[in-house]
């Protein structure tokens, strides 16, 4: 099916797609059941109904996956950069050809509206194309030492077997953002997908096989017991790299575990993104940016704007226009044509969002729009804007991960900077101002790995994605992305003119 074909979603279409998804573990090129025979259910968050049951990997399966990755590493590292790039290019083309399948599958298991899911397919596929081109550009260098007595040869080599742990909120893009640079660099992989949304990774792994990836290079172990399954791998000396996207709490534990074997680590952790609107901002443009920064993925994104820090002179206008847009956002199953906001991922997540809203309301905030769960099946929450939020309220310090926008006001640039930096996180920030000098100052003053200047979205395969402080370390995407899977080796060569 072409990327431009948008088929009508029927129950038959859903069933046909689900029937095409592999339900086993992928180990050494073969789909197989878990050693224990166990499976776990994957639910549709818009209904709570089971979509599929898939193999539930345990510690034995995890070790078998690492065995396969370790056995394939030497031969895979010898494959030419061009061939690795061609595999990624074929994978890009296959994912693009099956864009509607991937989009619908993500909508079914994660809940996002189909329009958003299609956007993720485009974004996720771009990592395959980007790193197909970067595979042949992992350059070293040759130079003469300053004293002229030695020749310096510096080369880049694959780190080795890598454990890739992806989150549930972007089932395709988070897989491609890790798998593509690993493939380009010549690393073998064990991919542990999120148990809430593993189906997209199942289909993606099958596509990578179809694209020509050799057996053992990519091994997939969906599991309901992540710690028990991947813990032994982190302690195994054959594993040389750990890439994790998820909560800061889990990231801290993994960093501690990874220290035992001094693993190379990439951590993309929690966020608490400030969205700063200055008095000279184009308010309509700021509202448009806010809608993207807040409601993309129902707010279930580490890059989602979490705190709206608005100058007191434009706060009322911003809140009024923002509320009008939010009120028009229809909550419905992502397959419905009118759907603009899908469900949250599960009941626990919805309860957490409502707990934060209730705490803010009890602390004196008011709901301009929304403020409650949606009645009926599924885990829907009303798009919500809160005014009068005060410092110290939980909703300003905790990651919301839902369609809720708390607004707090400021009166000076220094105060805006203080409020924005008042968090342990530093993944992304958004600033709206017409003053270029102020925009540059904010870029220099804000403690953040990324900044959207008059833009509500920053993610791009060609840009280095990552944060500072407790939002993580390392970068994904951009020129920097492949470096996370390479190490530098220096060879000193004797003076060719001596003797």
Q: Which two tokens stand for residue 204?
A: 């993606």
Distances (CA, A) of 446 to 136, 273, 417: 35, 11, 7
483 is catalytic: no
- Residue 206, both tokens: 């099958």
User: DSSP readout, 397-464?
Assistant: HS---SSEEEEEEESSHHHHHHHHH-SSEESEEEEE-S-HHHHHHHHHHS--SEEEES-S----TTS-
C-beta separation of 416 from 278 below 8 A = yes
Read off the DSSP letter of residue 147: T
CA-to-CA separations, 185 to 79, 88, 163, 486, in angstroms, rounded: 10, 11, 14, 6
Full DSSP string of 324-381: HHHHT--B--TTSTT-SB---SSHHHHHHHHHHHHHHHHTT-EEEE--SBPSSSS--B
The residues pairing with 39 across neighbouring beta strands, listed in sequence order, are 55
Tokens of 291: 């809608």
Q: β-strand 486-494 against 150-158: which pairing, if any?
A: antiparallel
User: Annotated catalytic residue: which of 126, 302, 413, 476?
Assistant: 302
Catalytic residue among 43, 100, 116, 268: 268
The CA angle 178-206-119, to the nearest 5 degrees, is 55
Please confirm, yes or no, whether 93 is among the known catalytic residues.
no
Secondary structure of residue 49 in the 3-state scheme: coil
Is 298 within 8 Å of 117 (Cβ atoms)?
A: no
Catalytically annotated residues: 268, 302
């Amino acid at each position: 099916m072409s990327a431009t074909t948008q088929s009508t979603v029927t129950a038959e279409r859903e069933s046909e797609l689900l029937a095409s998804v592999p339900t086993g573990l992928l180990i050494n090129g073969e789909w197989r059941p878990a050693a224990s025979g166990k499976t776990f259910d994957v639910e549709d968050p818009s209904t709570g109904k089971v979509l599929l049951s898939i193999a539930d990997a345990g510690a034995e399966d995890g070790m078998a996956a690492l065995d396969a990755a370790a056995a394939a590493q030497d031969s895979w590292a010898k494959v030419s950069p061009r061939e690795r790039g061609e595999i990624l290019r074929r994978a890009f083309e296959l994912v693009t050809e099956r864009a509607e399948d991937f989009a619908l599958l993500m909508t079914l298991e994660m809940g996002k509206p189909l329009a958003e899911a299609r956007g993720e397919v485009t974004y996720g596929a771009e990592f395959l194309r980007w790193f197909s081109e970067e595979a042949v550009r992992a350059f070293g260098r040759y130079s003469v030492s300053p004293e002229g007595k030695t020749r310096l040869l510096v080369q880049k080599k694959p780190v080795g077997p890598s454990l890739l742990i992806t989150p549930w909120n972007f089932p395709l893009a988070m897989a491609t953002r890790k798998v593509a640079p690993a493939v380009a660099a010549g690393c073998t992989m064990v991919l542990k997908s999120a148990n809430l949304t593993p189906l997209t990774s199942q289909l993606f792994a099958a596509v990578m096989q179809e694209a020509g990836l050799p057996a053992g290079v990519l091994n997939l172990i969906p599991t309901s017991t992540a710690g028990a399954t991947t813990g032994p791998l982190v302690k195994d000396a054959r594993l040389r790299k750990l890439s994790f996207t998820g909560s800061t709490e889990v990231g801290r534990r993994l960093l501690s575990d990874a220290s035992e074997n001094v693993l190379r680590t990439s951590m993309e952790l929690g966020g608490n993104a400030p969205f700063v609107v200055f008095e000279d901002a184009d308010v309509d443009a700021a509202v448009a940016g806010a809608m993207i920064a807040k409601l993309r993925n129902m707010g279930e994104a580490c890059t989602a704007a979490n705190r709206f820090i608005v100058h007191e002179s434009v706060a009322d206008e911003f809140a009024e226009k923002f509320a009008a847009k939010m009120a028009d956002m229809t909550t419905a199953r992502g397959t419905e044509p009118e759907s603009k906001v899908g469900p949250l991922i599960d009941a626990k997540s919805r309860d957490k969002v409502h707990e934060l809203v209730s705490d803010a309301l009890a602390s004196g905030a008011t709901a301009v729009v929304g403020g409650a769960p949606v009645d009926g099946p599924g885990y829907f929450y009303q798009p919500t804007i809160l005014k009068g939020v005060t410092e110290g309220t939980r909703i300003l310090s905790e990651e919301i991960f839902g369609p809720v926008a708390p607004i707090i006001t400021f009166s000076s640039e220094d105060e805006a900077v203080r409020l924005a930096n008042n968090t342990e996180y530093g993944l992304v920030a958004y600033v709206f101002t017409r003053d270029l000098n102020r925009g540059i100052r904010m870029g220099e003053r804000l403690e953040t790995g990324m900044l959207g200047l008059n833009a509500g979205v920053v993610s791009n395969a060609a840009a280095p994605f990552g944060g500072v402080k407790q939002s993580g370390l390392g970068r994904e995407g951009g020129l920097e992305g492949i470096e996370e899977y390479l190490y530098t080796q220096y060879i000193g060569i004797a003076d060719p003119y001596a003797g």
